[in-house]
Amino acid sequence: MDQFEEKRLDTGEININYVEGPRNGLPLVLVPGQGADWKNYEKVLPLLSQNFHVYAVNVRGHGKSDWTTGEYTFNSIGRDMVSLLETAVKEPAIISGNSSGGLIALWLAANRPDLVRGIIMEDPPLFSAEWPRIREDSYVYRVLEVTVELSKELNQSRSIRGLARTFMKVKRPVEGGKFQGVPRPAAYLFAFMIRASQRLRSGDPSLPGRFGRITDMLVNFDVDFSQAFLDGRVYEGLDHADALKRAECPMILLHANWLRHPDYGLVGAMDDDDATRAQEIAPEMHFKRIDSDHVIHSDNPELFVKEVEEFAAKLS
């Protein structure tokens, strides 16, 4: 990581934060998913920087990039990315995006093909994150609802009890179509630790493991970004099928694990029908099914780097 330099770019509309690595090959722009910042790529940045000129960006509303509450749409995010490519990268780049970052990559391929060599969509929510399906058939919608509620508790309420009760709503899928929640004692312990940390660190909670990542995300993330997915504002500017039709650059779609829950619907970014539909719309797009959690570059960094390198080799 010592080879990476953290920078800020004034787009004329907002300031966005990103890191840039050494000039060791084709430009590769990494776009993390909702709630994550560029540090989400720490496992793969040193590996990718050996053969690419890597940029990893914080989408508006994340980390040190400006927060634009009320102004989160794919069009506005796309404008930020265009500014980064025109002003900082200054040549067509490979765009690799995870989750919603994959949809941002698709927006660029459809709207500014002159700035894009090719795109890597790392388990994007193609079709499942369109309105109103996301509300009717996606576990992610429930996750976003809890995210918004948790953020409000962290930033507004002084009640440990209220925060603990919200933590108990955080559930993860397990085998047999069931979900596992946070045990009551653990929820109260986490709530107490967060409140104590906030008092000591002026609102900068620091917890180990999964709950540390959750709370850090909530503090360094404008939750209106999630709210925009809940009320439909964010979808302006991106019709998934139309974008796939218009994108003419080389593309690869990486599809991670998923399942269906009888009460919550799709748990994951896409089901097999979504993946098949994407391939039918864009038959020249490469497709690969990956046995991995949603964030492939974190769950299996070596495999992710291999896929990126093979995709780039095909471009050459």
Alpha-carbon distance 310 to 305, whole Å?
9
CB atoms within 10 A of CB 313: 9
Per-residue model confidence as pLDDT tens digits over 200-228: 544 444 555 555 556 666 667 899 999 99
- 229, 256, 288: which is the final residue of a domain? 229
- Write the pLDDT tens digit of every residue in 225-246: 999 999 999 998 999 999 999 9
Examine the fold and report which residue of 229, 260, 282 is the final residue of a domain before the chain moves on. 229
- Supply the pTM of this predicted model: 0.89
* pLDDT band at 31; cut points 50, 70, 90: very high
Residue type, 57: V
Does one domain contain both 276 and 222? no
Q: Are residues 179 and 298 in the same domain?
A: no
Claim to verify: residue 141 and residue 180 sit in the same structural domain: yes
Q: How far is CA 145 from the centre of its chain?
A: 17
59-91, pLDDT tens digit by residue? 999 989 999 999 999 999 999 999 999 999 999
pLDDT above 70 (res 159) = no
* Same domain assignment for residues 124 and 148: no
Angle at 27 between CA 236 and CA 19, to 5 degrees: 75
Q: Are 80 and 71 contacting, i.e. CB atoms less than 8 angstroms apart?
A: no
Of 32, 36, 45, 46, whose CA–CA distance to 95 is shortest? 32
pLDDT in tens, 35-58: 999 999 999 999 999 999 999 999
Query: Both 127 and 29 in a single domain?
Result: yes
What CATH number is given to the structural domain containing 278? 3.40.50.1820
| End residue of a domain, out of 170, 200, 229 | 229
Same domain, 149 and 195: yes
At 256-309, the pLDDT tens digits run: 999 998 888 999 999 999 999 999 999 999 999 999 999 999 999 999 999 999
Residue 126 has pLDDT above 90, yes or no: yes
Residues 49 and 9 in one domain: yes
**Which one has a higher pLDDT value, 96 or 170?**
96
CB atoms within 10 A of CB 261: 14
Q: What is the pLDDT of residue 64?
A: 93
Q: How far is 229 from 209, CA to CA, in rounded Å?
A: 27
Alpha carbon distance 132, 20 (integer Å): 37
Same domain, 202 and 253: no
Peptide bond into 22 cis (omega under 30): no
- Of the candidates 43, 109, 111, which has an alpha carbon nearest to the alpha carbon of residue 75? 111
Residue 201: the pLDDT is 47
Do 38 and 123 belong together in one domain?
yes
Q: Are residues 39 and 181 in the same domain?
A: no
119 and 20 housed in the same domain? yes
Residue 153 and residue 201 in one domain: yes
Mean pLDDT of all residues in 157-176: 67
Question: Looking at per-residue confidence, does 283 or 163 come out higher?
Answer: 283
234: left (phi over 0), alpha (psi -120 to 50) or beta: alpha
- Which residues constitute the domain of residue 236? 5-131+232-315
Helices (H) and strands (E) in the chain, counts: 13, 12
| Structural domain total, the chain | 2
Q: Which of 167, 146, 177, 176 is nearest to 210 (CA)?
A: 167
